[in-house]
Amino acid sequence: GLAGLTHLDEMTFLGSNLRSYENGSLQAARPISLVSLSLQSLFQNDPELVSKVLQDVSHPKTRLTIKDVVLRTNTSTESFKATREGGTESLSLHNCTTTDEALTSFLMVMDNSSLSYIGLEEVHLIGQGWWQRASYTHYENLHTAYIRNLDIQGFFEFSSMKQLGFLLLNLHKVSVINGTVFVIPPITTVLLKKLQYLDLSQNLLSDLTTAPTLSTSFGAYQNLNTLNVSQNVIKSLGLMSQLATNLKSLTYLDLSHNSFVSMPEKCSWPATLRFLNLSSTKLRKMTPCLPSSLMVLDLSENELMVVHQRFPQLNTLVLTGNRFIKLPQGELFPRLQTLLIQRNALRMFNRSDLNRFKNLQYLEAGDNNFVCSCKFVSFFKQDVDLFITLRDSRRNYVCDTPFTLRGDSIDSVRLSVFECYMIPAVSVLCSVIIIELGLIVVTCHKLHVIWYLQMTKAWIQAKRKPAVGRLAEELRYDAFVSYSQHDAEWVEEILVPELESVHPPFALCLHKRDFQPGRWIVDNIIDSIEKSHRTLFVLSEHFVTSEWRRYELDFSHFRIVDEHNDSAVLVPLEPIKKETIPKGFSKRRKRKNTR
């Protein structure tokens, strides 16, 4: 027994093999909040033994569940007298097989009981619903009937529920879930005058049969405030809105898991409607059809991309599992407090998006395709909590792009300055490169680097020629004369005639006379210096400022270093200021003066 236990919340008793029972064994801990009994065939084979058990556990505050039982005859229901006498108010039958005869006997046994809740789950009924013999019974206290997964053998022969008026008249809550219900005729619905809650989910209601099922003729459903017809085969949302309009007290309507697909432009709804569930109804577009009186709207698991209608009273909006790429416009929901928008195509949201919602407090937006830009990552990590509370886990907020961050939690993302400010960074980098290239170009121009490189290349190529020595026939000139064009008159009329008129005459190379036309000037200079015994420089102010004459001096210097001789002859034509003389000339004159 349970001697010593003063309080017990829940008890499960498996007694299919029970042979004897001592009165009071389970009575010590009464009342037990929930008792579950599995006595199987004992109801039929030993009803007296079952009565003893039920007598101990039955109590007004105990919810009693009978599991795994077969009730076929009057005898099998006799044990429930103990339940009635114990004042049981809540009784459920799970996994039960029964007949018309047994149910009629049960109703007669429980006559005038305190029973307020009856539950039938996983029940297999063999019969046609002829329970009239129990019509004289009284069940004024029975307010709730819960039926789930009801299987009726010979379903299409089952009679109308009209003869059960003695049960239906006082019901406030009725649930028939997955009971293959396809219609409830008006002669039955008229009995449901006190009904406040009706759940007909997972049945076979269609557009054709929903109209008579929800008929309000003769005052039916006038107190109905909650209606659930989810998971049926209803296809017309317009029809449902018309039927709902006649339900003057309706506040909660569940139409989920039906195939509406489209939504009419205009609909009529009861002014009392506050909660509407249209989840998983294959909706692709929203229209102004929905009632503006709603406080809770569930549009999850559809194919919606945008909301245009204004809902002035709405405080909870569920958009999970749609195709939204951004948050809906906050101005449409002035009182919205909770927004659920997980599993959409949401790319990002920012301070401006959230500020449009004047009263938004809670947001669930995980499992979206977030673009982890620098602004969004910074806002999410540092500022989002200043605006709203994320009710789902922050781990559900992960990056979809860029590809390198895909799958990473936004909180774990660390972006570099270059990634965050790519355009300014690239601009600065390009500017630096352009400036450096400009400086290099200017420097090369000032220092004649390109010319020197070209001249060095030409000189190296000349040196790579087969070294057979400087034969006399290769030295065609006694001197190569380097002079400024401004001094050409003196050179050509005085210097050259003077040197070429002596005996034997000097063979002079002049660029104006002896350079090969069309040939690169550097090649001409190198070739002329290479074929001359000496290089004669006519020095003047113009000469020292001439670029090409300076190059001739530099190549002559290469030859002096290479051949270890002094093949240069300096001829001052006029006094030259010291500060204008290039270093090469200064060094040359200094070397001459030291000899």
Closest CA to 166 of 129, 138, 194, 131: 138
Asked, for residue 351, whether it belongs to a domain, the answer is no
pTM for the model: 0.72
483 half-sphere exposure, CB direction, 13 A CA radius? 25
Contacts of 139 (CB under 8 A, 6+ apart): 110, 111, 113, 115, 166, 167, 170
**Neighbour count for residue 208 (Cβ, 10 Å):** 12
Count of structural domains, the chain: 2
Scan for tokens 């009706």, then name that residue.
198
Asked, for residue 46, whether it belongs to a domain, the answer is yes
Final residue of a structural domain among 152, 171, 190: 171
**Neighbour count for residue 7 (Cβ, 10 Å):** 9
| Mean pLDDT computed over 313-334 | 97
Q: What pLDDT score does 469 carry?
A: 44
- Cβ proximity of 250 and 240 under 8 Å: no
Using CA atoms, how far residue 284 sits from 287, 300, 306, 453, in Å, is 10, 12, 10, 73
Q: What share of the chain is helix, strand, coil (3-state, %, to 5)?
A: 35, 20, 45
| Full residue range of the structural domain in which residue 122 is found | 1-171
User: Bridge partners of 153?
Assistant: 126
Higher model confidence: residue 473 or residue 332?
332
Higher model confidence: residue 447 or residue 400?
400
Using CA atoms, how far residue 360 sits from 46, 53, 333, 415, in Å, is 63, 55, 9, 30
Asked, for residue 135, whether it belongs to a domain, the answer is yes
Higher model confidence: residue 456 or residue 508?
508
Q: Is the pLDDT of residue 537 over 60?
A: yes
Q: Report the C-alpha gap between 512 and 520 in whole angstroms.
A: 14
**Neighbour count for residue 473 (Cβ, 10 Å):** 6
Higher model confidence: residue 172 or residue 582?
172
Q: What pLDDT score does 468 carry?
A: 42
Closest CA to 189 of 211, 156, 159: 211
Closest CA to 91 of 226, 109, 124, 129: 109
- Cβ proximity of 341 and 316 under 8 Å: no
In this prediction, residue 417 has a pLDDT band, given cuts at 50, 70 and 90, of confident
| Mean pLDDT computed over 393-416 | 91
Q: Is the pLDDT of residue 53 over 70?
A: yes
Q: Please give the structure tokens belonging to residue 416.
A: 């570099």
Asked, for residue 403, whether it belongs to a domain, the answer is no
- Burial readout 59-97 (b: 16 or more C-beta within 10 A, e: otherwise): beebbbbbbbbbbeeeebbbbbbbbbebebbbbbbbbbb
In this prediction, residue 557 has a pLDDT band, given cuts at 50, 70 and 90, of low
Asked, for residue 318, whether it belongs to a domain, the answer is no
- Cβ proximity of 312 and 332 under 8 Å: no
Q: Is the pLDDT of residue 426 over 70?
A: yes
Q: Is the pLDDT of residue 462 over 60?
A: no
Asked, for residue 510, whether it belongs to a domain, the answer is yes
Q: How far is CA 118 from the centre of its chain?
A: 46
CA angle, 450 then 451 then 455, to 5°: 120
Lowest mean pLDDT segment, chosen from 112-116, 336-340, 430-434, 456-460: 456-460
| Mean of pLDDT over the chain | 86
Q: Is the pLDDT of residue 592 over 50?
A: no
Higher model confidence: residue 350 or residue 449?
350
Q: Is the dihedral of CA 550, 555, 559, 561 positive or negative?
A: positive
- Cβ proximity of 70 and 79 under 8 Å: no
**What tens digit of pLDDT does each residue of 504-517 get?**
888 889 888 888 88
User: Can you give the CATH number for the domain in which 504 is found?
Assistant: 3.40.50.10140
**What tens digit of pLDDT does each residue of 268-321 get?**
999 999 999 999 999 999 999 999 999 999 999 999 999 999 999 999 999 999
Q: What pLDDT score does 595 carry?
A: 43
Q: Report the C-alpha gap between 337 and 334 in whole angstroms.
A: 9
Q: Coil, strand, or helix at residue 154? A: coil
Q: Report the C-alpha gap between 335 and 316 in whole angstroms.
A: 9
Final residue of a structural domain among 171, 199, 232: 171
Lowest mean pLDDT segment, chosen from 88-97, 134-143, 207-216, 496-505: 496-505
Closest CA to 248 of 221, 229, 230, 267: 221
Q: Report the C-alpha gap between 404 and 229 in whole angstroms.
A: 47
User: Can you give the CATH number for the domain in which 38 is found?
Assistant: 3.80.10
In this prediction, residue 162 has a pLDDT band, given cuts at 50, 70 and 90, of low
| Phi, then psi, of 49 in degrees rounded to 5 | -65, -40
| Mean pLDDT computed over 229-254 | 96
Final residue of a structural domain among 171, 206, 236: 171
| Phi, then psi, of 332 in degrees rounded to 5 | -80, -10
Asked, for residue 580, whether it belongs to a domain, the answer is yes
Asked, for residue 143, whether it belongs to a domain, the answer is yes
